[in-house]
């Protein structure tokens, strides 16, 4: 009667001795390594294990390749897989239960799951450590220089792509030529107060765009002295990357050219109206009078069309710009002065210019540039 529980107890103890190993401590989560750098694969026992019977084996779980081995009191580099020779080292104190492995010269092929298997006599334990991906940091800006218009706003592009969350990076915008700080992002917030006084209150990020890695700089109330070279630098741990953007002043800003053309239109209209009215009063229908009328109708209209065309292009409204330049063609169609042109132009204007105008508009619409 007393025998059965006793047997059971022995059996349970034996089973425990076989199955229950010791606890090994691995990594808290997947590891992110640096390409070309090194990564520590942690593996340690809570209490040191006697070295005599100890065997520590690091393997890749996918290929079963032996990454490193500690056996009979020493490391066994000769049994290592070719690919890991000289790249994998036990760094911790094995005698103190630290079986961590340092993998260096990491390549993309080193991503994967590693297992740390520890045996001592009958006991064993294992823990898995995953190298999930690699650290990277890429910063893009804009290829062309950006033109500034005094008093207006301007955006300097800087997009950051990284394994790390944008909120955890440090991003700075600086003037490279004068080495002054324009704007700083650190510890998840924009530190506007650290901006140089010349930019304080005028420089900002698109805050809602930051989680997408868009660290573009918005500069308000642009001044002439803002022109120069800007650098956007991102830092994430040991990595850093940058892009430079040039802010330049265009020689004749298109808007000023448009304004000048408009003034010219005004001057021409007024200037030509005076002789035209004089001719009208005299009921003069001579060549000179008719030429004056013709100039009054055509010159201001053509110049205005050109001005609106340039304006349309500068604000990126291609379709509107094209329609404006086509007004010139339509002007010829409706003008009562058509008689005065030579035959060929007349025939063309009468028959084709509306068709041509429609074709051009259709072409622009099709190219999707409106
Ligand atoms: C690791 O990289 C360094 C420099 O990049 C090189 O000198 C060394 O030979 C490499 N070691 C191995 C084992 O590939
Ligand atoms: C094991 O050793 C490595 C360096 O050799 C060290 O960074 C790590 O903290 C050690 N682990 C424990 C649990 O002591
Ligand atoms: C800035 O980025 C936006 C969006 O990617 C792009 O449309 C624009 O052309 C860029 N500006 C410059 C000057 O590169
Ligand atoms: C960043 O966001 C702003 C505002 O939405 C946009 O104008 C700009 O083009 C974006 N830049 C990039 C590089 O995506
Ligand atoms: C940066 O530019 C490269 C090449 O032009 C492109 O492949 C990459 O997607 C861009 N990255 C970002 C974050 O815009
Ligand atoms: C910007 O990045 C390049 C490499 O892309 C590096 O050579 C340069 O030193 C960096 N500039 C600054 C100011 O950090």
**Is residue 25 within 6 Å of ligand 6 at its C-beta?**
no
295 and 195, same structural domain?
A: no
Q: Is residue 47 part of a domain?
A: yes
Atom of ligand 2 nearest to the CA of 98: 1
Cα(176) to ligand 4 centroid in Å equals 22
**Binning pLDDT at 50, 70 and 90, where does residue 161 land?**
very high
- Would residue 1 count as lying in a domain? no
CA distance 110 to 39: 10
The answer to the question of residue 280 being in a domain is yes
Q: Are residues 243 and 191 located together in one domain of the fold?
A: yes
Structure letter (DSSP) for residue 228? E
Copy the structure tokens of residue 221.
Answer: 């109330």
Residue 88: strand, helix, or coil: strand
Within-domain flag for 86: yes
Q: Is residue 165 part of a domain?
A: yes
Beta partners for residue 174, in sequence order: 181, 231
Closest-CA residue, ligand 5 atom 1, reads 140
For the chain, the domain total comes to: 3
Contact 98 CB / ligand 6 (< 6 Å): no
Positive/negative CA dihedral, 73, 74, 79, 84: positive
Containing domain of residue 217, as a range?
Answer: 137-249
Q: Return the CATH number at 196.
A: 2.60.40.10
| 101, part of any domain | yes
Rounded to whole angstroms, how far apart are CA atoms 73 and 28? Answer: 29
Closest CA to 245 of 294, 161, 304, 176: 176
Q: Half-sphere exposure of 93 toward its Cβ, with a 13 Å CA cutoff?
A: 5
Whole-number pLDDT of residue 12? 37
What are 171-217's pLDDT values in tens digits?
999 999 888 999 999 999 999 999 999 999 999 999 999 999 999 99
Does residue 6 fall inside a structural domain?
no
Per the domain annotation, does 30 fall within a domain?
Answer: yes
Is the same domain home to 62 and 128? yes
Reading the block at residue 124, the tokens are 């064993």
* Residues contacting residue 36 through CB under 8 Å, at least 6 positions apart: 105, 106, 107
Residue 215 and residue 170 in one domain = yes
Average pLDDT over residues 309-336: 77
Inform me whether the pLDDT recorded for 299 exceeds 80: yes
Q: Is the pTM of this model over 0.75?
A: no
How long, in residues, is the chain? Answer: 370
Residues 215, 262: one domain?
A: no
Q: Is the pLDDT of residue 331 over 90?
A: no
The answer to whether residues 330 and 348 belong to one domain is yes
How many helices (H) and strands (E) the chain has is answered by 5, 22
């Amino acid at each position: 009667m007393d025998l059965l529980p006793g047997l059971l107890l022995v059996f349970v103890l034996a089973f425990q001795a076989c199955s229950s190993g010791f606890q090994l401590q691995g990594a808290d989560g997947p590891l992110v390594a640096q390409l070309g750098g090194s990564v520590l694969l942690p593996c340690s026992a809570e209490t040191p294990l006697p070295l005599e019977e100890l065997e520590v084996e690091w393997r890749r779980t996918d290929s079963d390749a032996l990454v490193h081995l500690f056996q009979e009191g020493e490391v066994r580099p000769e049994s290592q897989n070719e690919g890991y020779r000289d790249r994998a080292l036990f760094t911790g104190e094995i005698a103190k239960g630290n079986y961590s492995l340092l993998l260096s010269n990491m390549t993309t092929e080193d991503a994967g799951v590693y297992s740390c298997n520890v045996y001592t006599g009958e006991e064993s334990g294992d823990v898995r450590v995953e190298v999930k991906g690699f650290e990277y940091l890429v910063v893009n800006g804009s290829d062309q220089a950006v033109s500034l218009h005094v008093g207006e706003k301007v955006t300097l592009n800087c997009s950051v792509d990284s394994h790390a969350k944008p909120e955890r990076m440090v991003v700075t915008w600086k003037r490279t030529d004068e080495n002054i700080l324009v704007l700083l992002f650190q510890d998840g917030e924009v530190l506007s107060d650290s901006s140089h006084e010349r930019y304080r209150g005028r420089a900002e990020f698109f805050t809602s765009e930051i989680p997408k890695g868009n660290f573009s700089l918005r500069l308000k109330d642009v001044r002439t002295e803002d022109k120069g070279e800007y650098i956007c630098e991102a830092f994430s741990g040991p990595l850093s990357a940058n892009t430079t953007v040039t802010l330049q002043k265009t020689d004749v800003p298109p808007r000023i050219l448009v304004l000048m053309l408009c003034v010219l239109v005004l001057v021409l209209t007024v200037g030509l109206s005076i002789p035209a009215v004089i001719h009208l009063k005299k009921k003069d229908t001579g060549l000179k009078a008719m030429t004056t009328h013709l100039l009054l109708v055509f010159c201001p209209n053509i110049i205005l069309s050109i001005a609106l065309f340039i304006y349309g292009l500068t604000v990126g409204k291609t379709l509107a710009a094209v329609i404006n330049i086509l007004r010139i063609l339509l002007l010829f169609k409706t003008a009562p002065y058509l008689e005065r042109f030579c035959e060929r132009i007349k025939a063309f204007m009468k028959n084709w210019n509306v068709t041509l105008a429609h074709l051009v508009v259709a072409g622009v619409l099709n190219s999707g540039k409106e």
